[in-house]
Structure 1
Amino acid sequence: MMKKLVGTFLVALLATTAIAQEAPRAPKRPFQVTSPNGAREDAYYWLRDDTRKNADMLAYLKAENAYADAVLKPLQPLEKRLYDEALGHLKQDDSTVPYRDNGYWYQTRFATGADYPVVVRRKGTQTAPEQVIFDQPRMANGHNFFAIGDWSVSPDNRLVAWTEDLVGRRQFVLKVKDLSTGRLLADRVGNVEGDIVWAGDNRTVLYVEKDPVTLLSKRVKAHVLGTPAAADRLVYEEKDDSFYLGVARTSDRRYVCVVAQSTVSDEQRCAPALQPTRFAVVAPRAREFRYNADHMGGRWIIRTNRGGATNYKLVTVADAQAARGPAAWRDLVPASATTFIENFQPFAGFTAVEQRSGGNKRIRLLTDKGKWVPVTGEEPAFTMALSTNEEANTPWVRYTYSSLVTPTTTFEVNAQTGQHRTLKVAPVPGYTKADYVTERVWATARDGTKVPVSLVHRKDVARDGTAPLFQYAYGSYGVSSDPQFQAGLLPLLDRGMVYAIAHIRGGQEMGRQWYDDGHLLKKKNSFTDFVDVTRYLVAQKYAAPGRVAAMGGSAGGLLMGGVANMAPQDYALIVAQVPFVDVVTTMLDASIPLTTNEYDEWGNPAQKAYYDYMLSYSPYDNVAAKRYPAMYVGTGLFDSQVQYFEPAKWVARLREMKTDKNPLVFRVNMEAGHGGKSGRYERYRQNAEWQAFMLQQLKVAE
């Protein structure tokens, strides 16, 4: 009874505080976080509740939401304008370019006002009668969250299997439907990863089972339709918790594969699709040996860093020699010091290659006769990417092109003739490209490194040191932040803002070394690169000092936390979405989802060198009694990637320590996970809130 009364009292206290428009203050409760390298006091550790049912914790989160509502209420008219303007640039009844797969044309289309799309197909021609595969608006009805992770049609075109998430925690449920009748089969498999693949018998689906506590991908299993999930056959079990598991099929569909990936190592095993029990390892794993393999035309093509190919190379091996492993591999595209091979897809007669050079991602085609077919981009900052290419027996390759001023355009290029065809330019109502300009500049970091920066602004914005700046970055896991068109930025640009993407170390925009120089014991380079980009843009009069907003999410939220501690004076506002800010405590706890997978990204704090280094930049541990900029922090209660309690604890400590009067808003989505609420309109609603707050803090006039 006493515990219940304490919880009730806390609810009332925090609610009263919020109504008074004073920031909630979480109570402090003594707790020691122990490690092989010492103990640390963590007075807000109590905010962690893995059941997400603790009354005191929920009361605190609700009080933070009430406070956020109170602080942001005066901005609701501006928020609505931003939302309406963003929607005004969205063609609501839009559809994708149809693609052909195994005799059918597939397409996804949205109806006006619908949060979710309908997926359809037509047999033989694009004018044939339409068959609905997924009516997602109907499927999502009645659910606070809805997402399809992956879906795949059986080889005989009769069945569709998919994975579905109704919580946002990425613990999917595998389901199957008969497309000829629309009947949902009784088969159900819970707690799986999103990706699935059919075997060649039209009745077996391979999937990845997750650990229910750590959410690690642990086992690949085969489900035979009509049998209970408990009887599913174990295909492969991963013993090393630093690896992620996935399933895939080769481009020629002859093989199904189990893919094990870690930060520093890969291992792939494949079996004939018609005999998904005879799995053979393409190459055994070894530390610092990475590869991925695909099959086409009687040979394997493999992207690998073997032999010191830091930026990767493509090799090939005939089927008859494949069992010999890497000793039989022969170079197809040699490694380059300036060009990073990011991806590839084999076709009958040629291979499409995604590569990076000069900070931009491009496409090239290599014919089996050794001829290169280039695909050019004409803007200073852009990105190309392979699009949906389900059928390999064609000379045509689909790819997309986009920049910060060019809406995403889908092209086809012929590998035999070089001919180009434009299939679709994404419609953007109310947008005139000529009114905007994009640039690529290079900021000099404090160690002399040149950091690429992609910029966009209206042409009528003067470069005179008065403009407000919105700067974004991610900079972890080798993930590159490519310059792509975002209609949701137009309401900001039209108010005179400059938008910048800082391509900081920790991504792979400039190659694999760019990543290596931004993780583990070099992670601080990401933070200092970001700050140095800001100072460069201000010095070059792209922006006014005191009118800079910074944003990052997830591992980019770690970046925001580091920047807030290192250089708070450089920013008027920091937006940190689902931020990974309690680095040391999280990485000490192997029961937290994803921790063990991350040791080669951040380091294992059980080792003193890593413990000390991580502790020196961990945002939560380095909050100090000093002035911080205004801040907007977002999280989701059911986040499986970055647990809600990390930003909750960080905000609580910031409220305790910071000496300024700048507003700190903590928005907790009580019904979603890492990506926020589902549905396309929800994204615009959520964005409009922090965007209105940003415009207010940067003193951007309407």
Structure 2
Amino acid sequence: MSPRPARALPRRQSFAPLGLALAAGLAAPLASAALPAPPVAEKRPHEVKAPHGAVRIDEYYWLRDDTRTNPEMLAYLEAENAYADAVLAPLAPLKQRLYDEIVGRIQQDDASVPYFEDGYWYYSRFEAGKDYPIVARRKGTMEAPEEILLDQNAMAAGKDFFQVGTWEVSPDGTKLAWAEDLNGRRQYTIKVKDIASGELLDEAVTGASANIVWGDDNRTIWYVENDPKTLLTTHVKTHVIGTPVSQDKTVYTEADTSFYMGIGRTRSKQYICIGVQSTVSSEQRCTRASEPGEFFVIAPRERDVEYNADHYAGRWVITTNWQAPNYRIMTAAEDALGSRENWRELVPHKDDVLIEGIELFDGFMAIGERSEGLRRIRILKDGGESQYVKSDEPAYTMGLGMNPMPDTPWVRYTYTSFTTPNTTYEVNVETGERRLLKRDPVLGGYDPANYVTERVWVPARDGKARIPVSLVYRKGLAKDGTAPMLQYAYGSYGSSQDPRFSVQLPSLLDRGVVYALAHIRGGQELGRAWYDDGKLFNKKNTFTDFIDVTDWLVANGYAAKDRVAAMGGSAGGLLMGAVANMAPEKYRVMLSLVPFVDVVTTMLDPSIPLTTNEYDEWGNPEQEDFYAYMLSYSPYDQIEAKAYPAMFVGTGLWDSQVQYWEPAKYVARLRAKKTDDNLLVFRTNMEAGHGGKSGRFRRFAEAAEYYAFMLDQLGVEKGN
């Protein structure tokens, strides 16, 4: 069971290969002198005051409009989009080639691996040429007639944006509830239909998160309500089918605005649990699903103590960082709750292994772990015998797959790397047999043997850390310091970035680009300490780690010093902004997507989503010491009159995670202050939120655009 909500994080090609030792001047980038003048945003000085008396002048504050209807603001965004259209027009042929290559690698009528739950095989499938999946099931066997649960192509017809956040089938298998979003704001509407008839019931719960639990009575839906302005998950409510939404009951209210909230069922399905989670602590309360009533607390919240409890086979199993920074696994008897003193240790803490999650089965559990920056799975039998699921490569990503039924010896897991497409296996914990269920097909002549992956370790400038870096490049790289390189990182929230396969990546590798994934501090690749050393007053380690990785890779011949691109999104966009201010001369071009760049102003405003929840990540600027530190790296505040790299900045008008006005103000101030002639392109998706446009092909079109811009700036390929 995972009642804790997913943390709001970012969203994060068969061209004839060119030689890897490309000449630096092979293709001159777009010349700004021949292009139209960029838009100029009007300056309207506005005082931003902090409670301790500090005042800053924000001349572009007027670009903020919570309603997103201000005609002057919209006119500026449209002018920037028109400018982007104009300057990128010469790259249209290259963009189209990239898009065709990416889409050409996809088997368009592909389907997921079916999983069995409560008598049905569930799966999703795509139809050729269509953007959205069809969710379906078959009773008992995959040869049974197909029942379509959600035809998302039909549901999305005529809509600029469409996304299903989650869906759940009622316990008796007769009804389906789902949460849909029509603008990317992540304010969902919950709808219900009868599966057999397809009839849409007269239910529409608005302002909800993507979190649904059915009650045992097959009539009650448990959901989490969002605050309409801050999007904070404030209440857990129940809706009874056939009754007005106005009569929905509130079963729990979270008063602390630093906590996220979610609901779920335990593995045993015997309990419905509400989980609340801040950056540094958590709390879980549960009630019996058969007779919902008063909630009991697993253990009361305490600062710097996190836990997640699941129930199966008459006991509670708890993953916690209580006196264990990298987490340990504890157990508690069915009735021995309410205090951590009743917990008993099952899997002890290790300094070099981070426990990321567990799945309970009959007679054993599967444990997701991370060590040396890599994810792996350990099987622990009830008798104490332990074994690891084997890997096939030195740099990979392994994670637990869909395992809805605990009464099986088979554990399903996923495996991928930079060169291995997403693969689903299952392993028998009794016999050791491993079965390949599916490897995502990659068309267009893709051959993993054409590429090389490496894991290198880069010394950080403070002498306290060695930064792991995952690399992939086309076989035959000379490492003579002439290759172009794209370096990516995130480095916040303890979110670990793993080497995964992408159908987009071969289009870069086949053009001689080296791809480097820097596992910088602020993530959790090397355990909790790696995260702690990249947040709050240690945040600048995230930025210097990224720069140190660049310097090392250039010094060791992986890339030319004048052909380095950098990319990051959301909090990774903060990384891009900080690095652009600190070391602009080290990067030829930067791709900054939905960037969090106005740190101090945003964190001073508790009405903005993700502010109060994030004080323990960034700090609270209402306190003078945090204010001064955050101000010292905030990209918007640190822009200077100097040369900056060429930049592509992207955002979505309806972004709920990083409001559109942050990148808009950032671009406006950059345009006014920077002294170079390098291109600065700002693209706003007027129908999208944090994750960009909906639909698999539309997203590839977005990627093709900013990759075309990057390749042109690196001198890899001309647009025509």
The aligned residue for residue 222 of structure 1 is 238
Contact conserved, 1:154 with 1:198, CA < 8 A, in 2?
Answer: yes
The aligned residue for residue 12 of structure 2 is none
The aligned residue for residue 194 of structure 2 is 178
Q: 455, 460, 479: which one pairs with 1:440?
A: 455
List per-residue Cα deviations over 1:479-536 (Å, max 9, x = no partner): 0111000111111110011001000000100000000000011000000000000111
The aligned residue for residue 233 of structure 1 is 249
* Per-residue deviation, 1:152: 0.5
Query: What letter corresponds to residue 369 of structure 2 in structure 1?
Result: Q
Aligned pairs (5 A) from 1:334-483: 334-429=348-443, 430-448=445-463, 449-483=465-499
Matched, 1:503 2:519: yes
The separation in 2 between residues aligned to 1:275 and 1:695, in whole angstroms, is: 60
The normalised TM-score by structure 1 is 0.96
List per-residue Cα deviations over 1:547-569 (Å, max 9, x = no partner): 00000000000000000000000
The normalised TM-score by structure 2 is 0.94
The aligned residue for residue 253 of structure 1 is 269
* Per-residue deviation, 1:322: 2.8
Matched, 1:31 2:57: no
Contact conserved, 2:297 with 2:337, CA < 8 A, in 1?
Answer: no
Contact conserved, 1:18 with 1:64, CA < 8 A, in 2?
Answer: no
Contact conserved, 2:600 with 2:627, CA < 8 A, in 1?
Answer: yes
* Per-residue deviation, 1:241: 0.1
The separation in 2 between residues aligned to 1:348 and 1:321, in whole angstroms, is: 22
Query: What letter corresponds to residue 68 of structure 2 in structure 1?
Result: R
Matched-pair identity in %:
61
The separation in 1 between residues aligned to 2:681 and 2:717, in whole angstroms, is: 21
Aligned pairs (5 A) from 1:579-618: 579-618=595-634
The separation in 2 between residues aligned to 1:163 and 1:18, in whole angstroms, is: 49
The aligned residue for residue 328 of structure 1 is 342
The separation in 1 between residues aligned to 2:45 and 2:161, in whole angstroms, is: 36
Matched, 1:294 2:310: yes
Matched, 1:635 2:618: no
The secondary structure found in structure 2 opposite 1:320 is coil
List per-residue Cα deviations over 1:397-454 (Å, max 9, x = no partner): 1000100011111000112222211101111012101101111000111012100000
- Further displaced range: 232-241 or 412-421: 412-421
The separation in 1 between residues aligned to 2:173 and 2:366, in whole angstroms, is: 27
The aligned residue for residue 701 of structure 2 is 685
The separation in 2 between residues aligned to 1:30 and 1:263, in whole angstroms, is: 34
List per-residue Cα deviations over 1:347-390 (Å, max 9, x = no partner): 11111100000110001111111111211213221110111111
Contact conserved, 2:519 with 2:525, CA < 8 A, in 1?
Answer: yes
The secondary structure found in structure 2 opposite 1:321 is coil
Contact conserved, 1:453 with 1:501, CA < 8 A, in 2?
Answer: yes
Q: 664, 688, 701: which one pairs with 1:672?
A: 688
The separation in 2 between residues aligned to 1:276 and 1:396, in whole angstroms, is: 33
Aligned pairs (5 A) from 1:529-548: 529-548=545-564
Count of matched residue positions in the alignment of Structure 1 and Structure 2: 684
The secondary structure found in structure 1 opposite 2:407 is coil
Q: 298, 307, 331: which one pairs with 1:316?
A: 331
The aligned residue for residue 11 of structure 1 is none
The separation in 2 between residues aligned to 1:405 and 1:292, in whole angstroms, is: 34
Contact conserved, 2:35 with 2:87, CA < 8 A, in 1?
Answer: no
Contact conserved, 1:373 with 1:418, CA < 8 A, in 2?
Answer: no
Contact conserved, 1:19 with 1:66, CA < 8 A, in 2?
Answer: no
The aligned residue for residue 108 of structure 1 is 124
Contact conserved, 1:235 with 1:277, CA < 8 A, in 2?
Answer: no
* Per-residue deviation, 1:256: 1.0
* Per-residue deviation, 1:36: 2.1
Query: What letter corresponds to residue 446 of structure 2 in structure 1?
Result: Y
Of structures 1 and 2, the one with the larger relative CO (CA 8 A, separation 6+) is 2
The secondary structure found in structure 2 opposite 1:337 is coil
The separation in 2 between residues aligned to 1:590 and 1:68, in whole angstroms, is: 33
The aligned residue for residue 636 of structure 2 is 620
The separation in 1 between residues aligned to 2:622 and 2:355, in whole angstroms, is: 34
The aligned residue for residue 9 of structure 2 is none
The aligned residue for residue 59 of structure 1 is 75
The separation in 2 between residues aligned to 1:447 and 1:645, in whole angstroms, is: 35
Q: 37, 47, 52: which one pairs with 1:22?
A: 37
The separation in 2 between residues aligned to 1:376 and 1:121, in whole angstroms, is: 32
Contact conserved, 1:18 with 1:63, CA < 8 A, in 2?
Answer: no
Contact conserved, 2:299 with 2:337, CA < 8 A, in 1?
Answer: no
Query: What letter corresponds to residue 382 of structure 2 in structure 1?
Result: D
List per-residue Cα deviations over 1:105-125 (Å, max 9, x = no partner): 001000110100111100001
Query: What letter corresponds to residue 375 of structure 1 in structure 2?
Result: V
Contact conserved, 1:453 with 1:503, CA < 8 A, in 2?
Answer: yes
Q: For structure 1, which runs of at least 5 residues remain unmatched after alignment?
A: 1-16
The aligned residue for residue 576 of structure 1 is 592
The aligned residue for residue 182 of structure 2 is 166
Matched, 1:658 2:674: yes
List per-residue Cα deviations over 1:307-359 (Å, max 9, x = no partner): x2000000011103234x21111111100000000111111111110000011
Matched, 1:209 2:225: yes
List per-residue Cα deviations over 1:166-222 (Å, max 9, x = no partner): 111000001111112111110111000001111111111110001111111000001
Query: What letter corresponds to residue 250 of structure 1 in structure 2?
Result: T
Query: What's the C-alpha RMSD, in Å, of the aligned pairs?
Result: 1.2
The aligned residue for residue 321 of structure 2 is 305
Matched, 1:151 2:167: yes
Runs (4+) of structure 1 moved beyond 4 Å?
Answer: 17-20
Contact conserved, 1:632 with 1:690, CA < 8 A, in 2?
Answer: yes
The separation in 1 between residues aligned to 2:172 and 2:34, in whole angstroms, is: 61
Query: What letter corresponds to residue 486 of structure 1 in structure 2?
Result: S
The secondary structure found in structure 2 opposite 1:575 is strand
Contact conserved, 1:18 with 1:66, CA < 8 A, in 2?
Answer: no
Query: What letter corresponds to residue 433 of structure 1 in structure 2?
Result: P
The separation in 1 between residues aligned to 2:292 and 2:349, in whole angstroms, is: 34
Contact conserved, 1:343 with 1:355, CA < 8 A, in 2?
Answer: yes
Q: 665, 671, 689: which one pairs with 1:649?
A: 665
- Further displaced range: 128-137 or 376-385: 376-385
The separation in 1 between residues aligned to 2:33 and 2:117, in whole angstroms, is: 55
The separation in 2 between residues aligned to 1:19 and 1:580, in whole angstroms, is: 32
The aligned residue for residue 18 of structure 2 is none
The aligned residue for residue 267 of structure 1 is 283
Aligned pairs (5 A) from 1:55-134: 55-134=71-150
* Per-residue deviation, 1:19: 12
The secondary structure found in structure 1 opposite 2:319 is strand
The separation in 2 between residues aligned to 1:54 and 1:152, in whole angstroms, is: 38
The separation in 2 between residues aligned to 1:292 and 1:659, in whole angstroms, is: 51
* Per-residue deviation, 1:461: 2.2
The aligned residue for residue 10 of structure 2 is none
The separation in 2 between residues aligned to 1:414 and 1:513, in whole angstroms, is: 34
List per-residue Cα deviations over 1:584-615 (Å, max 9, x = no partner): 00000011111100101100000011000000
Structure 1 residues 193 and 460, CA, compared in 2 at 3 Å: closer, same or farther? same
* Per-residue deviation, 1:18: 14
The secondary structure found in structure 2 opposite 1:487 is coil
* Per-residue deviation, 1:30: 1.5
Q: For structure 2, which runs of at least 5 residues remain unmatched after alignment?
A: 1-31
* Per-residue deviation, 1:274: 1.4
- Further displaced range: 685-694 or 34-43: 34-43
Contact conserved, 1:465 with 1:544, CA < 8 A, in 2?
Answer: yes
